Structure 1
């Protein structure tokens, strides 16, 4: 394909060939990306980012994926600016008078103009995602929410238009359909995760996404051969293997994730992205050694994007945590603290936490000292868009105890952070792993009883009770688990620092009740967790989990969830 011919085709932008050519070239670029040829993929797209809406969109999408992996402020704002330029390119191809909201809707649009609508909406959607990524607080939800609303309305109208009789299917209709499936699917799935309170603030009052509908559209999109199938697949894999854990009730949809991954693993056997998700699936199943092997393979598969390695290191750190191989886990936290800029404070905290799990007399790797490391945590506090991430705030608050001349030791900092990332549901399939954690907790409880009491003692006991409750639940000892949880809840008035404990314990106890079929009791506790506690560590994460549990109960009984 000569560039001269391309330029002419671009000028005659209504010629059908151009749209098809653009889509074909973008499909090739996606293929390169999935085969770990990241820079070649960008090279293929770059020459036409100012003249082709699809080149602009996919180029910006690749940069956004990179930003999502690095979490680095520069990458995030660079991706945001590129996505904004892509949106301007799409705008040039849209019909000048407002189409959407028009009685005739999409009927009077050329095929190219329909594609422009979809690409424009997708740029807005991805810009909103970047706004959320920068910050978990309400202001960015609202800023992103305005973009989201506009984007959603375009998708909605396009969706009803392509379902109508008057929609003539052009040669690139499959790609158009894929784009709309991705948009409507992403909306329904994502909004179904949000608590009603946040939806109201986003002015999506009365709209709660239909999770099952969203998932079905994304599944259809992921199995088709169109430009968005990879995006549909990645969003589903993130949902199945991460979001259900971090923002949900911790039951990853493993079978769905596995069947989705099979064709991609066959097509891209060395594709680092797919090796990573395959590792994550094994981790969820409790096959920790298999997971370690896949994450290590993911690192070996490519050297171009170090950020990929960091995602694998983070998972490897947790895999060794589940096995209580503290020194190996420390090694990965150390690598991250040197190479990744996502959250230095978090990595330094984890290094200190792993060292503090070793016996007092055992030599420390690199001669490092946990007390010194804990004292350094706050130095690395960062502000992403003026805010530091909630997990980082949590680590800084915990490390405060080491500031004075006689530090008050944290009893099980690694296990407490593991809880924050829902690691106890990861080991639930492997009795010996839970057994090991229980042993660590019993030892910590023993040394806490032997130590002189201080202002933190009661909080520390409650942390241990919460985590013991999770282990007992994994072991099927539900009565004992319930007793542990109730001990925490009844200490509410005496807890001085760890105010996150009671709302989270209420959530865990309610999940135990759901498991036992004690539905009404569960609902009561969830409403208490939702309405009675404010301003505690990682609050938005807990609220998402409360919403997920209530939504689960509602789906099982077909009832409305109150806001």
Structure 2
């Protein structure tokens, strides 16, 4: 028994990997991250896997890649696997932390080693990512409380580290640049939340400071530089549009060198061109992003979604339907939304025009509610909106929606995308004129007032894009004058108030704009029984931002 045990022990020692220094671990992890960003996903994981139980950085990056995969696939098994891997990574980081955690005791600061400092920042990052997975995996209140505690603990560690490295007692070792990058990423990510609120005073300054930290992290050369760049790209190309701050320019100094052909950066390059109104260039970049790799189909779904909207702006309804159909078959994120968009595109075709795959829009609209799901414990707002709009098709004699594609396009801030392309705005105006003529020729029904108000709202946006501000104001006013007659689409009034307020801000009529935005917030709360917080102009989030701009 002793001899057999000795041989087994000797065998384990013989196959053990040689011990790597902190710098060597960081260099190898940067190589693995480079592989990932250049479309070599499996090779990246293979490079990290052998040392996930002995190196905190190998464990962290390996778990981060799996978490990115889980958030794209939205498969329960992937989310569970990522959560278990991230928990194991946190345990590896814990082994390298000092026994008495916390950096507030100044007498102990001098005894901290470089490895222990890196262990703190890796541990905080694991906490933050585990919280994100908790919100995705479970829907009960206990899980949300646990996730909130993880977020708080992570922030406290980042905060102490940030103040610690600013002190003169901080040991600046050979890998200090990676430590600073990790802290910039963490503090910048937290403070970016306050920047998204866009309020005055301390919170706004914190948000701007968070952006500056992320810029510093993205332009430096460290392990988190690409993560900082990705977070900034998400902020400038997505979050600003969701929060109604469309038009915030993305910094030009975010250069990606050899990553320009990576699927992720091709996607963001396409999104940047789409924001500028260069739709054809955006389509080409999204298609290149799909061709760049075949290992993770989830990257394709991100491109399909944007391609769907690009062809929507060009009014190529069948091409847009094609990508909505692909998403409904392959993606798990929001099947209700995808099926609704399929039906919406079919309803934009002429009655005598052939339907792709022989599908019928009425049947598709009736299926929308069956695909309802929850993400982080709640149904997505636009999914709620789609389900509510599709209800009218459940009647024995359904009454068709006038312009469902353009209405959903407004929810995703699509009219801001085409504001710099007059020909695209003119095409949307033509579609609205045709829809209004159809409404006038049809007999009145219970939805007639709501449908006319939808067209007035969307026409006002087109007129604003064309610079016809007085005509746009008149169009918005028509909706407001019908407030008491609207029966179903109660979102129209607060949205028109917000759009009219923004119009006044552009004209310098600030006092009038403030009154309208206050009223929009009040009307939003009054009609909150609908419980749909719009991505475009939920008054609770957006009115405060534009009130600040008006001031």
Please say whether Structure 1 and Structure 2 have the same fold, judged by a TM-score greater than 0.5: yes
Say which SS state the counterpart of residue 261 (structure 2) adopts.
coil
1:19 to 14, 22, 25: 22
1:486 alignment counterpart: 477
In the TM superposition, residue 294 of structure 1 has moved relative to its aligned partner by 0.5
2:259 to 239, 250, 268: 268
Superposition pairs of residues 116-515 of structure 1, within 5 angstroms:
116-131=119-134, 144-194=147-197, 210-254=206-250, 256=251, 258-260=252-254, 263-264=255-256, 266-384=257-375, 386-515=377-506
Say which SS state the counterpart of residue 541 (structure 1) adopts.
coil
Say which SS state the counterpart of residue 210 (structure 1) adopts.
helix
Residue 465 to residue 145, structure 1, CA distance change in 2 (3 Å): farther
In the TM superposition, residue 484 of structure 1 has moved relative to its aligned partner by 1.7
Say whether residues 1:539 and 2:539 are aligned partners: no
Which range is displaced more, 526-535 or 367-376? Answer: 526-535
Whether the aligned pair in 2 keeps the contact of 1:26 and 1:54 (CA below 8 Å) is yes
Say which SS state the counterpart of residue 452 (structure 1) adopts.
coil
In the TM superposition, residue 247 of structure 1 has moved relative to its aligned partner by 2.0
Distance in 1 of aligned mates of 2:417 and 2:321:
19
Whether the aligned pair in 2 keeps the contact of 1:530 and 1:543 (CA below 8 Å) is no
Aligned residues: 536
Q: Deviations over 1:242-277 (max 9, x none)?
A: 1111123222424x1x441xx31x312421111111
Residue 84 to residue 192, structure 1, CA distance change in 2 (3 Å): farther
Say which SS state the counterpart of residue 399 (structure 2) adopts.
coil
Residue 131 to residue 165, structure 1, CA distance change in 2 (3 Å): same
In the TM superposition, residue 8 of structure 1 has moved relative to its aligned partner by 6.9
In the TM superposition, residue 108 of structure 1 has moved relative to its aligned partner by 2.8
Residue 70 to residue 515, structure 1, CA distance change in 2 (3 Å): farther
Distance in 1 of aligned mates of 2:227 and 2:532:
29
Say which SS state the counterpart of residue 415 (structure 1) adopts.
helix
In the TM superposition, residue 61 of structure 1 has moved relative to its aligned partner by 1.3
Say whether residues 1:90 and 2:93 are aligned partners: yes
Q: Deviations over 1:351-371 (max 9, x none)?
A: 100000001111111111111
Whether the aligned pair in 2 keeps the contact of 1:195 and 1:547 (CA below 8 Å) is no
Distance in 2 of aligned mates of 1:332 and 1:435:
24
Distance in 1 of aligned mates of 2:454 and 2:496:
10
Residue 154 to residue 376, structure 1, CA distance change in 2 (3 Å): same
Residue 135 to residue 191, structure 1, CA distance change in 2 (3 Å): farther
Residue 278 to residue 195, structure 1, CA distance change in 2 (3 Å): closer
Distance in 1 of aligned mates of 2:43 and 2:384:
39
CA RMSD of aligned residues (A): 2.6
Residue 26 to residue 147, structure 1, CA distance change in 2 (3 Å): same
Distance in 2 of aligned mates of 1:384 and 1:430:
35
Q: Deviations over 1:348-393 (max 9, x none)?
A: 1111000000011111111111111111112222234554322222
Whether the aligned pair in 1 keeps the contact of 2:35 and 2:43 (CA below 8 Å) is yes
Q: Deviations over 1:513-547 (max 9, x none)?
A: 22122222223333333344224354163566764
Say which SS state the counterpart of residue 470 (structure 2) adopts.
helix
2:52 alignment counterpart: 49
Q: Deviations over 1:424-482 (max 9, x none)?
A: 00000000000000111111111112111111111111111111111111111111111
Distance in 1 of aligned mates of 2:550 and 2:84:
43
Distance in 1 of aligned mates of 2:45 and 2:539:
38
2:8 alignment counterpart: none
Whether the aligned pair in 2 keeps the contact of 1:189 and 1:214 (CA below 8 Å) is yes
2:69 alignment counterpart: 66
Unaligned runs of at least 5 residues, structure 1: 11-16, 197-204, 558-563
Distance in 1 of aligned mates of 2:415 and 2:506:
16
Residue 544 to residue 39, structure 1, CA distance change in 2 (3 Å): farther
Residue 451 to residue 346, structure 1, CA distance change in 2 (3 Å): same
Residue 94 to residue 548, structure 1, CA distance change in 2 (3 Å): farther
Distance in 2 of aligned mates of 1:503 and 1:365:
37
* TM-score, normalization by structure 1: 0.89
Unaligned runs of at least 5 residues, structure 2: 1-11
User: Which of structures 1 and 2 has the bigger CA Rg?
Assistant: 2
Residue 340 to residue 399, structure 1, CA distance change in 2 (3 Å): same
Residue 128 to residue 246, structure 1, CA distance change in 2 (3 Å): same
Distance in 2 of aligned mates of 1:547 and 1:369:
38
Say which SS state the counterpart of residue 361 (structure 1) adopts.
coil
Which range is displaced more, 61-70 or 340-349? Answer: 61-70
Distance in 2 of aligned mates of 1:356 and 1:419:
17
Say which SS state the counterpart of residue 358 (structure 1) adopts.
coil
Distance in 1 of aligned mates of 2:155 and 2:375:
27
In the TM superposition, residue 293 of structure 1 has moved relative to its aligned partner by 0.5
